[in-house]
Amino acid sequence: MHQFEHDDPQRESEQERPTRGFTLPGADGRVVITWLLLAINILVWLFMQLVGGFLNQDVDVLLRFGAMFGPLIATGEYWRLFTAMFLHANLLHLFFNCFALFIFGRLVEGVYGHTRFTIIYLLAGLAGGVLSYMFNKTAIAVGASGAIFGILGALAAYFLANRDTLGEMGRRNLTGLAAIAAINLAIGLLIPNIDNWAHFGGLAGGFIMGLALAPRYTYELIATPLGFTRRIASQSPIGMRWFAIPAFVVLLGVLIWYIGTDVSEAQQSQILVIRAERLLQDGNAMGALEHADRAVELDSLSGQAFYTRGKIMARIGSTDRAKADLSASLRLPGLNQNQRQDAISLLVSLP
């Protein structure tokens, strides 16, 4: 990608004929951040296996390590939008994302440089997380795919920004990247449990930041003993385009704030259940009860809300109300297998 390719020298127009074998300015092929990101993703996954058991996909482990989950983000755990991009649900998930990062990350880092590549990767990953949070408020999401779609978008932006200088080679690469992105997005739509909103958000974020930060090239004439020849040179530094970074960060912040204000009663109930569970763990049963009561009021069909309130009632010695709430939780949707077993055990143990 870093050098021009020509199929037929006789067919090249004078406008599209750069110096042969010329490597683009800044495209020296040095790769540092891509290898670092690969190492981080693999090491985090290995550590998760040590904590949760080999090849374990336990949701609780993912949440402990920072998976995205709308109700937790809404309680103020915004850092999950960042940490989720370094987590993976299983070995196959890790393999495909690392393979894509290995292929495309090296190319994008080569032409953008270490700093700009890091900025694009992280902001595209955050953009994917924000869009996922907006449309999947109750789903648990992990993976680097949003950031990886972001580097695809940045690569497309690079060829678009330099379409006049790179000529036919640049146009072919841009078309190929568009096809790759379209195929992957289509596959995501056909396969269940794929976070397509993260892919769309990452692709858009990477393209926007890539367009702002892409190096621009132009032709310049240089004198040689045989006369003048043309070569490709970098244009002026990025300059004011750096302001795209804080502007994009502000945009993401505004979106996160807006999402937090657009929460349904059922989602508010989930948030209150989580807060009640934490207060109960901290020994504040009465504070937990206040949140649990409100959660039941907001969503009277939530098995989790009744389950949590039933545990609190059992803790404070209100046996009859505990039995009623735990029995209701078993009749309503929302409990996972562990919670159902715990509710049954509690009911059996109550006098």
Per-residue pLDDT in tens (0 to 9) along the chain, 351 residues: 333 233 333 333 333 344 333 445 545 567 899 999 999 999 999 998 888 765 555 777 888 899 998 888 887 889 999 999 999 988 888 999 999 999 899 989 988 989 999 999 999 999 999 999 988 877 889 999 999 999 999 998 988 888 777 666 667 777 777 777 777 777 766 677 788 899 999 999 999 999 999 888 776 556 566 655 555 656 656 767 889 999 999 999 999 988 877 777 888 888 888 888 888 888 898 988 999 999 999 888 889 999 999 999 999 989 999 899 999 999 988 888 888 998 899 988 888
What is the DSSP code (8-state) at residue 241? G
Closest CA to 298 of 334, 263, 340, 269: 269
- Look at residue 89 in the predicted model and tell me its pLDDT: 87
Task: Tell me, rounded to whole angstroms, the distance of Cα 295 from its chain centroid.
Answer: 30
- State how far the Cα of 110 lies from the Cα of 120, in Å rounded to an integer: 13
- Choosing from 88, 132, 145, 329, the catalytic residue is 145
- For the full predicted model, state whether its pTM sits above 0.85: no
Structure tokens at 302: 């939530």
Contact 121, 198 (CB under 8 A): no
Structure tokens at 34: 């891509």
- In what helix (H) or strand (E) does residue 306 lie, and over which residues does it extend? helix 303-316
Strand ranges, E, within 147-216: none
145 as an active site residue: the answer is: yes
- In what helix (H) or strand (E) does residue 337 lie, and over which residues does it extend? helix 337-349
Pairing of strands 227-234, 217-224: antiparallel
| Cβ neighbour number for residue 9 with a 10 Å cutoff | 8
- Choosing from 88, 132, 199, 302, the catalytic residue is 199
- State how far the Cα of 92 lies from the Cα of 99, in Å rounded to an integer: 11
CA angle, 295 then 267 then 299, to 5°: 40
- Look at residue 97 in the predicted model and tell me its pLDDT: 92
CA R_g for the chain: 26
- State how far the Cα of 253 lies from the Cα of 263, in Å rounded to an integer: 17
Is residue 228 left, alpha or beta, with left meaning phi > 0 and alpha meaning psi from -120 to 50?
A: beta
Contact 263, 271 (CB under 8 A): yes
- State how far the Cα of 229 lies from the Cα of 107, in Å rounded to an integer: 28
